[in-house]
Structure 1
Amino acid sequence: MKKPLTFGLMVTAGSMATSLYAQENQDTMVVVGSRTPAQIDQVPSAAQVVEGEQLREQTSTGADLKTALGKLVPGLDFGPQGRTNAGQNMRGRTVQVLIDGVSMNNSRSLSRQFDSIDPFNIERVEVLSGASSLYGGGATGGIINIITKTGDEGEPNWESEVGTTTGFKNSDDLDYRVAQSASGGNEFVTGRIGVAYKDNGRHYDANGDEIFPDLAQSDLQGNRSLDILGNLSFQLTENQTLDLKAQLYESGYEDDKGVYFPNLASSTPNLRDAEIRDGFSADREPKTDRRMFNVNYHHADFLGQDLYLQAYHREEESSFHPFPYPDDDGSYYFTTSKQNTTLSGLKTLMSSDISDTVSLDYGLDIDREEFDASQMYFDDSITDATGGLVHKESRVEPRYPSFQIDGLSAFGQGEWQATEHWTLGAGIRQQHMNVDVDDFQPSGQALAKGGESDYDVTLFNASALYDFHNGHQTWTSYSEGFDLPDPSKYYGRPGQDASDQTLDGIKTRQVELGWRYQGNQWQTQAAAYYSWSNSTIELDEQLNTVQTDDKRRDFGLEASATRYLGEHWQVGGTLHALRSEQKIDGEWEKRGITVSPYPSQHTATLHAQWSDLDRTLRLQANRSWDYEDYQGDEIEGNTTLDLIGSHQTDFGKVSLGIENLTDEQYSTPWGQRAAGFYSPYFGPEYLYDYQGRGRTYTLNWSMSY
């Protein structure tokens, strides 16, 4: 029962791997599951892949990565359009995002996992829905593993791409991007380097109004991003391979547009009547910078087993937009934070066949995460005199206590082919976390002493899959995942000592019943699930976190279906219907819109597509429904249409995409949540209600040669 391995599908011990790649004739797809390669009909969970071509079809409308995935992956919420993916859950829970098996999630949850790579450098995106017990914290809702492009044997191969997006609302309503790659190699070594650059202009809503910047989490207007990704793959021997990957990603604000507050310098200052003006500058502006190194080694016959090793190192710096805080005297002062994370680790996995019907995967994961943050305060006199357009540094103080988390985890996963039709599986992960927190004392506050605390989390999974051997599979499974409370917000409260406070992993349990079918004309999948947790993290009045015993649950149905009609047509869609609840006074109530984990809306997509060898035309509808919580607070839904067309010529592929075809006016899900978070204490609602972009047109050209 040896699982098939190919060089292109090598997944190291660190990879939460679920890879699905469709062949041209819609044959059975192949999936990488359980951290080693396997076929999709061996995976007892809702799994799918977004091929690079599918992804680039969506981004040809001007959509960014998280927006494109939200339209393609059932169970994943629609993207919030800004820099943040806060509130973009999977099955109402946290999603863990990886690049080639390296986690983009941090213990300090900044929600910028998708502000990490340009789609030009993506080969495919693997998705596994539901809580995972094999891959550590942050995977209570599912896993998204981004697989990057690599080189092939043969003559040098080049890829070029140029694109532009505009809504024709104003002369500055223009985004453009350029990308170039080179790859090639021989039977011993292959390599690729890809460089992608994107420059965004200003964005406008359907009413033609310029969209206010996202003061809370920052957005992508006026943003410049640069993604440089390189890799080398060595065939050391017949059984041994070595992969080296490195990435530099920079994404930051480079514009001079800002929010002007006319009443800052008045005798009764307030944040009303703000407008967008030229002249913005700040000594610290929004940006996301990442540097990542990843080394993978595979031995296909190490003591009769498959050995996978992965070593990685990731450095990340995140800065935010100047943010207004109310002072005790009724005035406002502006500050912004910069937060630095370093993550390093070593992961090992052994995969062996104990017999013809029993296999066992087992391994050890070691990682270290380090974090520090600073808060820059700006000169009030300059800020007030310029209406909040110019921010000059006054002082820098610690923002959160620095911390270091050391993790040590052991896991084992077994599979038994009980009969011709039945496959049974079970696994366990034991994870130990040691949290070391530094002393913390911003000026004017009492000392919060640092200290150490540790905890253990034990996670289980079990599954049964029945294969009808006619294209149908059905499964049932139980799985567990956990989230780590944010140490930076949990510790460091004035007058409290870290040694007197203990963090616990917030465990989520899930049961799932699923079915999939793939034939010559149909590709379908559906899963019903129920997940629950008994503790949670909540925000206090100062936006710090507290851990409480509080019950949360989510249950629902996610489904996708595609019907192929003849040689040219296909129709299909996705559906995610769920209910998110919390227990209040002994009764289950619909979860509050700002309560973690954030509740999700019902979503659905529909599409019709015609294509031949040279041309494609696709019309798709994206629908989200209103969500109203137990207090009557609401997140409004909306419906948008996208039209995508492409034509392959002798001189490359030309595509035209129209996003929000009907020019729908709407507020993004994040904007509506942010208004609930920050208003009225931090200012009027309109400052935080981040609007959706109106109709845009994207013209794109790409060529491989």
Structure 2
Amino acid sequence: MVLKTSITLLALAIAGQAHGQVNQINQQSQIQPKASAQDIERIIVTGSRIAENIDEVPASITIITQKQIAQQLMVSSEIQSLLANLVPGMSPSTGTSSNSGQTLRGRAPLVMIDGVPQSTPLRNGALGIRTLDASVIERIEVIKGATSIYGNGAAGGIINYITKKANSDKKLSGHASISTRFSAVELEDSVGQRYEAGINGEVNNFNYVFNASYEENGLQRDADGDILGLKYGLSDAVMQNYFAKLGYHFDDEKSLQFTYNYYQSKQGVNLIDQVGNINTGEKTQAIAVPVGKSVLGEPQGPTNHNLMLKYVDDEIFAQTGLMVDLYRQEVENIFFYSPTLANPDAGYSGGQSLIRSEKKGLRLTFNTRVDFSLANGDSVETTFIYGIDALNDVTSQPMVDGRVWVPEMDMESLAGFLQTKLIYNDDLVIKFGVRQEDIDLTVNDYSTLKLCKKIDQCSVPVNVIGDTLNYTATTYNIGVKYNALALFSPFISYSQGADISDTGRLLRTATVTDIALIHTQASIIDNYELGFSSDFEQVHFEFATYFSTSEFGTTNKFNEVTGVYMPVRAPQEIYGYEALINYEINEAWVVNATYSWVEGKNTADDVYLGAKQISPPKATVNLNWQPSHTISLALNYLYVGNRKRFEPVDGEYVGDQGPIDSYQIVNVSGNYNFASDWSAFIGIENLFNQDYYPTKSQGYTYGGYNIKGLGTTVNIGVNYQF
């Protein structure tokens, strides 16, 4: 705690020093002007935790607008598919409730709602992307590459869901939507329904947003009309989201905001899996429960609560703003029932695990703005962003039946940070920063779980002595961007991230008797990136190439004796490139296309990384046509390439090393405004009924994962706005 106290004092000292410097040059300084309405789509908050223009960030950024989100909702409410279609560097959708295998540039991203972490990095269950309904989101900001700006878990970057704000022009406005979704291949039991509505407004200094959605899926069917496998499945799933945001403006500078978000997704289906085999080409599909058998376990899926309190003072000191974030998140993710979690000696024929995680945090962010002129007439705009992050994360993975698989991990983190931005003559942007983080991770005494794949194939339990592990890390970042030429605006950056992700996986397979002997040390990720953007007339083009190294990464190796996949920590390198082009052909036609390629290796053994991290090449094309204000049509094309880096072991592919064959998917959607307040829409997913396995289903050889993608599925509905 001595170091944590030192960090606190250091951050406060920085604040005081910056305040003093501002007072000394106050006579020649000016506050940065606020963004105008026409520039709002160019403003982001994720990259540095304050509002800034996207042109001032020397990194690859993808902004998904509310219009794009609404367009994707016409086809599907699944955020995984939305991100895969619109974000270069994001792996293709898994087609399930799990985002395992859906990485950002080959590493796990940190998912946030308004800056509050939703992922569970201490025991990464890969369910963080589905934490709210897409209808609640105003925009999505994706920052790629390792970053320590938000702390642990951001090895691949950040996906920040920015929730909707109140309409300040009206005391009351709102909307309602009803839709139905069904398989066009086999209609039987595939019909689902979705209801969504919200109101918002501003009365005097008070503003509010309320939104609710409820969705019931029917059976999900593939191109043959068969029911998709149930592992992380969405057949007969019920999704519900209730959202509230209340705000009060004390004056033009001070405001207080309270936000609550509840999201739940549960798959409760009276079917069982007929498990196939990727090596024999037999797909996994759901079938009726045979006579004499029953559905085992509880409905799988996440339940997520978020409470957030934000206070903003734009001028707490001279030219210094303050933002205080208090938050609490509780999540419970229940996984599928598995016979591999058996222990016949204790009377368990299988089991079902769940991840429990509770986070409580405080973020204190100061923002000091200083503008001044040099003797030669040049101008320099300087911004200092500094403060303290405090987080308590308590995560565990017990069994539903009461057994302990991953013991409770109690993490306390305190970090001080300083980020500086210099803008010289409006053209040259230089950013650099440092973050000092101190983490205490406490685990009490526990025993590893005895698991039996077969009666005579069991792991050996180990009694482990608990301890408090301490991690300290200092990470740096620096970036330069030059904006003088619209035709060529280059940037270069170097950033580091400190990561202790998935410590729970290491603990549950411990082979030593003392937690202090488990290799749990933090991994430092070094991320190098070079890119540029170009704008000429109606065309916008972006390109970036990157190289990322880490001291440790978590891969899996099959233990033939126990039948359990054990984690292997080894140095990794990941590299790739991305390109995007947006062409506004005319007022009616807009086309957007992307291409991304990524590869990675375990450098210790010089072997390629598997499908859990690395996805095949991906290309997308989004074509939008809006001939009038009453009609709009969109076509979305996704191409996923081949990746075949591994050879069979004893005639069979193992782990996440399955060969991946290419596939392509076409979605279409249309909207028609038939009255001033009413519109109807239709969306068709997999228009040509492509018969395919998603990348995860091909790459993962584990039993029950080889599930086909959705066949042609239709979504029809109406919207009302007032």
Please, what TM-score do these two structures have when normalized by structure 1?
0.86
1:399 corresponds to which of 397, 400, 405: 405
Deviates more, 1:617-626 or 1:482-491: 482-491
Deviates more, 1:471-480 or 1:363-372: 471-480
1:664 corresponds to which of 685, 690, 693: 690
The one-letter code matched in structure 1 to 2:180 is T
Say whether 1:351 aligns with 2:367: yes
Q: 1:582 to 1:373 in 2, by over 3 A?
A: closer
Shift of 1:209: 1.6
Say whether 1:652 aligns with 2:675: no
Matches within 5 A, 1:391-470: 395-441=401-447, 445-468=461-484, 470=486
The one-letter code matched in structure 2 to 1:649 is F
Shift of 1:412: 0.5
Mapped partners of 1:607, 1:314: distance in 2: 35
Spell out, residue by residue over 1:335-373, the C-alpha distance to the aligned partner (whole angstroms, 9 max, x if none). 101221100100011111244322211111000001233
Matches within 5 A, 1:274-353: 276-278=287-289, 280-304=294-318, 305-325=320-340, 333-353=349-369
1:578 corresponds to which of 598, 611, 629: 598
Mapped partners of 2:236, 2:644: distance in 1: 34
Matches within 5 A, 1:518-557: 518=535, 520-540=537-557, 541=559, 543=564, 546=567, 548=569, 550-557=570-577
Spell out, residue by residue over 1:98-136, the C-alpha distance to the aligned partner (whole angstroms, 9 max, x if none). 101101111110111122111111111111122213111
The one-letter code matched in structure 2 to 1:362 is Y
Instruction: Judge conservation of contact 2:544–2:577 (CA < 8 Å) in 1.
Output: yes
1:688 corresponds to which of 705, 712, 720: 705
Shift of 1:231: 0.6
**Equivalent residue number for residue 132 of structure 1:** 147
Instruction: Judge conservation of contact 1:506–1:535 (CA < 8 Å) in 2.
Output: yes
Q: 1:272 to 1:535 in 2, by over 3 A?
A: closer
**Equivalent residue number for residue 124 of structure 2:** 109
Aligned to 2:494, the other structure's residue is in SS state strand
2:43 corresponds to which of 12, 30, 41: 30
Mapped partners of 1:435, 1:603: distance in 2: 38
Mapped partners of 2:636, 2:268: distance in 1: 33
Q: 1:583 to 1:347 in 2, by over 3 A?
A: same
**Equivalent residue number for residue 98 of structure 2:** 84
The one-letter code matched in structure 1 to 2:353 is S
Aligned to 1:55, the other structure's residue is in SS state helix
The one-letter code matched in structure 2 to 1:131 is A
2:89 corresponds to which of 75, 100, 106: 75
Mapped partners of 1:80, 1:272: distance in 2: 15
Mapped partners of 1:533, 1:137: distance in 2: 14
Spell out, residue by residue over 1:212-238, the C-alpha distance to the aligned partner (whole angstroms, 9 max, x if none). 211xxx222111011000010110122
Mapped partners of 2:659, 2:306: distance in 1: 40
Mapped partners of 2:467, 2:246: distance in 1: 42
Instruction: Judge conservation of contact 1:285–1:322 (CA < 8 Å) in 2.
Output: no
Unmatched 5+ stretches in structure 1: 10-19, 23-28, 263-270, 377-394, 680-686
The one-letter code matched in structure 2 to 1:337 is S
Aligned to 1:634, the other structure's residue is in SS state coil
Say whether 1:176 aligns with 2:193: yes
Aligned to 2:227, the other structure's residue is in SS state coil
Q: 1:86 to 1:309 in 2, by over 3 A?
A: same
1:592 corresponds to which of 610, 633, 648: 610
Mapped partners of 1:77, 1:617: distance in 2: 26
Q: 1:100 to 1:420 in 2, by over 3 A?
A: closer
**Equivalent residue number for residue 241 of structure 1:** 255
**Equivalent residue number for residue 379 of structure 1:** none
Spell out, residue by residue over 1:311-338, the C-alpha distance to the aligned partner (whole angstroms, 9 max, x if none). 0000111111111228699999221012
Shift of 1:441: 2.8
Mapped partners of 2:616, 2:498: distance in 1: 22
Deviates more, 1:58-67 or 1:328-337: 328-337
The one-letter code matched in structure 2 to 1:473 is S
Q: Note the aligned Cα RMSD (angstroms).
A: 2.7
2:700 corresponds to which of 653, 657, 674: 674
Shift of 1:82: 0.6
1:143 corresponds to which of 142, 148, 158: 158
Spell out, residue by residue over 1:172-192, the C-alpha distance to the aligned partner (whole angstroms, 9 max, x if none). 112221011121222311001
Instruction: Judge conservation of contact 2:415–2:436 (CA < 8 Å) in 1.
Output: yes
Mapped partners of 2:353, 2:144: distance in 1: 33
Instruction: Judge conservation of contact 2:598–2:614 (CA < 8 Å) in 1.
Output: no
Mapped partners of 1:333, 1:412: distance in 2: 53
Shift of 1:193: 0.8
**Equivalent residue number for residue 12 of structure 1:** none
Say whether 1:197 aligns with 2:208: no
The one-letter code matched in structure 2 to 1:150 is K
The one-letter code matched in structure 1 to 2:644 is E
Shift of 1:152: 2.4
Amino-acid identity (%)? 21
Q: 1:171 to 1:299 in 2, by over 3 A?
A: same
Mapped partners of 1:664, 1:315: distance in 2: 39
Instruction: Judge conservation of contact 1:648–1:654 (CA < 8 Å) in 2.
Output: yes
Shift of 1:434: 0.6
Q: 1:273 to 1:187 in 2, by over 3 A?
A: closer
